[in-house]
Amino acid sequence: MHHLGEGVVESIGRVEKLLATGSVVDASDGVKLRAAERAIAKKAPFHTGRNSMADAVLIEIYGELKAVKSPGIRFAFVTHNTKDFSHVNADNRLPHPDLAAYFSKIKSLYFINLSEALRRVRPALVSNLMMEQEWAQEPRGLTEIMEAMDLLFHQVWYNRHQGLRQNIESGRVKLVEKEAVPVRDHLRRPIQRDVWAMAQKAAKSVEKQYGLEKLGPWDDFEWGMINGKLSALRWVLGDEWDMLDT
């Protein structure tokens, strides 16, 4: 095992050296314009509904470089981000149809992991152990994390709103014109009519944004998972554990 470990370290070192010799390419005005046009047309990588401008700039830079006449040079686009770049309804080792024009079977290749790319262009750089274990997944970007948190936040808020609605309808919680006397039991605390009207309006907005199918109801296990996910993502971004305020 000691020798296998040394082999992996040596192979990784050779890969890092190879990448270090690469050139940094700035985005031209043409690249930015084409990326914006992709956003307007909702073409990949904008087909997911997320703000994917950075990804669009990357693929347009690749397309611009590939378009330059370069006899004897082959190109490869390597990404772990299969959601934005890969084919949606087929093998994710294939590029999305909106991006297919940038790739071919010989001169311009598409890969979803670095070891496969290296095995194709520089087989000597890839050890057997590296091929077996593959490469670690890349962490998710901040935009994707924030989008997931937004959905989870509204799922928790909406569930609590529905619980309050049931308490109001059953008479457990009273609607008042103006709250005067504080009530310690927050589950029975009266709600001002104008505040409740705004909450109902907000609930309609959440239903329109996410659809009722994403807003419950859930069993105890599912409800625990939703709260746990929200707490975990908030912790990743700096909150304390169990921060579930809505």
Nearest to 231 by CA among 223, 241, 245: 241
Q: How confident is the model at residue 182 (pLDDT cuts 50, 70, 90)?
A: low
Structural domain total, the chain: 2
pLDDT over 70 for what percent of the chain?
84
State the average pLDDT over residues 163-169.
91
- pLDDT one-digit tens code per residue, 36-72: 999 999 999 999 888 899 999 999 999 999 888 778 8
Please report whether residue 215 resides in a domain: yes
Same domain, 129 and 9: yes
pLDDT score at 211:
92
Q: How far apart are CA 52 and CA 226, in angstroms?
A: 26
CB atoms within 10 A of CB 224: 11
pLDDT score at 3:
47
Average pLDDT of the residues of the chain: 84
Q: Is 216 helix (H, G, I), strand (E, B) or coil?
A: coil
Q: Are 84 and 44 in contact (CB under 8 A)?
A: yes
Please report whether residue 196 resides in a domain: yes
Same domain, 63 and 174: no
Please report whether residue 242 resides in a domain: no
Last residue of a domain, one of 133, 168, 201: 133
Q: How confident is the model at residue 238 (pLDDT cuts 50, 70, 90)?
A: confident
pLDDT over 90 for what percent of the chain?
47
For 7, the domain range is: 2-133
Same domain, 21 and 55: yes
Is the model's pLDDT at 113 over the cut of 80? yes
Please report whether residue 44 resides in a domain: yes
Please report whether residue 29 resides in a domain: yes
ω into 45 cis (within 30 of 0): yes
Same domain, 43 and 97: yes
Q: Are 113 and 135 in contact (CB under 8 A)?
A: yes
Give the 3-state DSSP-derived string for 80-141, with helices as H, strands as E and coil as C. CCHHHHECCCCCCCCECHHHHHHCCCCCEEEECCHHHHHHHHCHHHCCHHHHHHCCCCCCCC
Is the model's pLDDT at 131 over the cut of 80? no
pLDDT score at 129:
45
ω into 217 cis (within 30 of 0): yes
Please report whether residue 34 resides in a domain: yes
Q: How far apart are CA 182 and CA 188, in angstroms?
A: 11
